[in-house]
Amino acid sequence: MTSSPLIPGSHTSHLAPRTSDYSSDLLVEEVPNPPALAELFDLIARRPGASFLDPDPYAVNRWHSACFGYDPFLTFSSKGHGITVSLQGQSRGLRGDPFSYLHGLFRQYADGESVEGHPGSGAIGYFGYDLRHHLEKLPAVAVDDLQLPDCVLNFYDLLFWFDPASNRLCITSSGLPFPPGADRRRRARERLQDGLDLIRRARLAGQRTPPESPHNDAPLESNMSKEGYFKALEAVLEYIAAGDIYQANISQRFATRFQGDPWALYGRLRTRFPASFGAYLDCGHFQVLSNSPERFLLVEDGQISTCPIKGTRPRGMTVEDDARMIGHLRRDPKERAEHVMIVDLERNDLGKICKVGSVHVEQFEVIETYHTLHHMVSTVAGTLEEGIGPIDCLRATFPGGSITGAPKIRAMEIIDEVEPTARGLYTGAIGFIGFSGKMDLNIVIRTAIVTGERIYFQTGGGIVADSSPKREYEETLLKAETFFRTLGVGRGPKG
């Protein structure tokens, strides 16, 4: 008689089993001469629940996060205190703290070990900025006009992993959600065969013709006029002068009509403007296209690191112009002061969950160059206390300090006061959490949401005492340039 997979019961973490019944029984298949990862994903990209984490074009040391999955065995979503868990077609509604429920869920499916360096099974999805309400008592004045879930995570038993350095593609199949035994082994074999069949289909299909670049005649709108943005910044500067905060990250949200294929749009985006932490998520009635350059958290082998970005300059027209821009960025007292404040904030956040004396700055004020701009980046790292898992790390650090401000709580209160619409997914996190405890998440910047026939994307910048409203406004346009160009719209809102 076939046994049924375990259906999650309570949203409270203390009811999850302390020792997992899901010991590792992972099947791993290496695929020689694989098709390109994006061409392979193209065959299933339009299925709800499909998730794609892009390889990093600028580094070769994080290939474990270059992966995709489809047909999740479980989907977790939350809005406020409402939680929906869908397990193999059976949905259940609950109420509670999503972080507590996820803590128990990851422990329930824990594999406990990896195979050949792979995290194995796990979840891909997003944590929206407004999950902050489960961590701190904060106001909710801004209008939540999009009404999207605060969190969506898809749990996969079948994942495709790609190493761009060696051009290796591996498929992992765990047989979840069944417990160990014959049914789990059978499911693992069947699902692995599904993955191999997808490879064969991709090879038969051959290379696809890239979609044409769009031209969008629809007007580009913003949730704040230029004058409104200046007014918001003036209010923030008054708070800084009064000593309420030292810094706050203030953003504006752009929107326009979009009637095309979201995956095809992401294909143009990743080809023209590759990013270190790009991602594509099909969440059913909406899609997420992330072109983020910033890592939020990497958790692996008891270590944690975060890589805040603070400091931006546009690219120059020549090598000499680039060198001059980088020199200005390195020497700018405003940019450097802003950067130091956020590095200190991140050190404080990691200190909540790391062993005493282990938190340190691995890299400081490194300049990273992308297609349209230069960024100043640092890396803060530490050794986790025993028993600290990925969800504990999120609780201690979310949302990232680089996109809130300092002090973090007061900065978030002020953001809610001066930004007219709720951030939703923007400035949250997207990425992978493995049942073995590994986690790699980005900061949700340079990210678009397609819902209905509209596309939304949001950009901002850190405001400090000597910030110029005009320059800060121009920086939001500079950061949105990749989407302006990819969508074929003019630079900045019309009218």
Residue 237 clears pLDDT 90, i.e. is over it: yes
The answer to whether residues 440 and 293 belong to one domain is yes
The answer to whether residues 247 and 373 belong to one domain is yes
- Write down the pLDDT at residue 210: 58
Amino acid at 401: G
- Write down the pLDDT at residue 4: 39
Residue 331 clears pLDDT 90, i.e. is over it: no
- Write down the pLDDT at residue 21: 44
Residue 294 clears pLDDT 80, i.e. is over it: yes
What are 118's strand-pairing partners?
115
Q: Which of 205, 235, 264 is the last residue of a domain?
A: 205
- Write down the pLDDT at residue 9: 39
- At 15, is the pLDDT very low, low, confident or very high (cuts 50, 70, 90)? very low
Residue 117 clears pLDDT 90, i.e. is over it: no
Sign of CA dihedral 216, 221, 226, 230: negative
In whole angstroms, give the CA distance from residue 76 to residue 85: 5
DSSP-derived 3-state class of residue 317: coil
Whether 315 maps to a domain, the answer reads: yes
Q: Which of 176, 205, 234 is the last residue of a domain?
A: 205
Task: Give the chain's radius of gyration (CA, Å).
Answer: 22
Whether 495 maps to a domain, the answer reads: no
- Out of 113, 136, 294, 470, which one is annotated catalytic? 294
DSSP 118: B
**450 CB-near residues (< 8 Å, 6+ apart):** 258, 262, 265, 286, 287, 289
In whole angstroms, give the CA distance from residue 483 to residue 269: 8
The answer to whether residues 163 and 287 belong to one domain is no
Q: Is 116 a catalytic residue?
A: no
Helices 333-351 & 319-331 angle (0-180, nearest 10): 60
Counting DSSP H helices and E strands in the chain, the numbers are: 11, 24
Q: What value does the mean pLDDT take over residues 313-330?
A: 85
Q: pLDDT digit string (tens) for 410-436?
A: 999 999 999 999 999 999 999 999 998
Whether 214 maps to a domain, the answer reads: no
- Out of 310, 408, 438, 479, which one is annotated catalytic? 310
Which range in 32-46, 47-61, 281-295, 325-339 is most confidently predicted, on average pLDDT?
281-295
Q: pLDDT digit string (tens) for 38-82?
A: 999 999 999 999 999 998 876 644 444 589 999 999 999 999 999
* CB contact at 8 A, 43 and 204: no
Q: pLDDT digit string (tens) for 204-228?
A: 887 666 555 566 678 899 999 999 9
Q: What value does the mean pLDDT take over residues 249-255?
A: 97
- At 375, is the pLDDT very low, low, confident or very high (cuts 50, 70, 90)? confident
Whether 174 maps to a domain, the answer reads: yes
Whether 420 maps to a domain, the answer reads: yes
Per-residue tokens: 354: 């790391």
Neighbours of 198 (CB within 10 A): 19
Whether 284 maps to a domain, the answer reads: yes
The answer to whether residues 194 and 259 belong to one domain is no
The answer to whether residues 251 and 323 belong to one domain is yes
CA angle 229, 232, 237 (to 5 degrees): 125
- Write down the pLDDT at residue 407: 95
Q: What value does the mean pLDDT take over residues 186-192?
A: 96
Q: Which of 205, 232, 259 is the last residue of a domain?
A: 205
The answer to whether residues 114 and 228 belong to one domain is no
* DSSP element (H, E) containing 309: strand 309-314
Q: Specify the CATH number for the domain of residue 349.
A: 3.60.120.10
Residue 8 clears pLDDT 50, i.e. is over it: no
Per-residue tokens: 6: 């375990």
The answer to whether residues 325 and 448 belong to one domain is yes
Whether 210 maps to a domain, the answer reads: no
The answer to whether residues 200 and 246 belong to one domain is no
- Write down the pLDDT at residue 373: 80
DSSP-derived 3-state class of residue 131: helix
- Write down the pLDDT at residue 337: 84
Mean pLDDT over each residue of the chain, to the nearest integer: 88
- At 111, is the pLDDT very low, low, confident or very high (cuts 50, 70, 90)? low
* DSSP element (H, E) containing 125: strand 122-127
Provide the residue range defining the domain that includes 351.
222-487
- Write down the pLDDT at residue 1: 36
The answer to whether residues 346 and 388 belong to one domain is yes
The answer to whether residues 115 and 233 belong to one domain is no
Q: What value does the mean pLDDT take over residues 79-103?
A: 95
- Write down the pLDDT at residue 164: 77
Whether 60 maps to a domain, the answer reads: yes
Q: pLDDT digit string (tens) for 123-160?
A: 999 999 999 999 999 988 999 999 999 999 999 999 99
The answer to whether residues 245 and 103 belong to one domain is no
Q: What value does the mean pLDDT take over residues 291-320?
A: 90
Q: Is 294 a catalytic residue?
A: yes
The answer to whether residues 178 and 268 belong to one domain is no
In whole angstroms, give the CA distance from residue 304 to residue 389: 10
Number of structural domains the chain divides into: 2
